[in-house]
Amino acid sequence: MSLALPERILLALGAIAGLLGVAASAAAAHISSGDGLKTAAQFLLFHAPAVFGLVALAATGVSHRLLTRLAATALLIGLVLFSGDLALRALQGTSLFPMAAPSGGFVLMAGWLLAAAAAFVPAQRR
């Protein structure tokens, strides 16, 4: 089975989230104020496999394709906002923008809610 372009993009972004999670973990081990960076790394590493799983569900048609893609997209946007803000604060002492981390957390929760909804909405037949 070949993946459609949207799934390929989501898969690549999920892999980048994992890569950044490993890099942030390594950096956090070497700086004194690494707690925020450690949290950012954990969120990246926890959600990267979730994005992979959502891509697999969307690609195989097990779940509602559009909702599952939206769930994966929301997780990635939430990671950028939440982890990006925490990492910037730890490494540069500045915020991405006011309320970026809480906004990212809200978007992450929305992504999980979309994943739950995708489990109950009938999958479209190809």
Helix residue spans in the chain (DSSP H): 5-28, 35-60, 65-92, 100-120
Q: Is the model's pLDDT at 55 over the cut of 90?
A: yes
Q: Of 13-17, 32-36, 88-92, give the lowest mean pLDDT range.
A: 32-36
Please report the pLDDT score of residue 11 as a whole number.
Answer: 96
d(CA 33, CA 74): 28
Q: Is the pTM of this model over 0.85?
A: yes
Please report the pLDDT score of residue 32 as a whole number.
Answer: 80
The share of the chain scoring above pLDDT 90, in percent, equals 86
Per residue in 66-116, pLDDT (tens digit) is 999 999 999 999 999 999 999 999 999 999 999 999 999 999 999 999 999
Please report the pLDDT score of residue 27 as a whole number.
Answer: 94
d(CA 69, CA 99): 25
Confidence of residue 1 (pLDDT cuts 50, 70, 90): low
Q: Is the model's pLDDT at 54 over the cut of 70?
A: yes
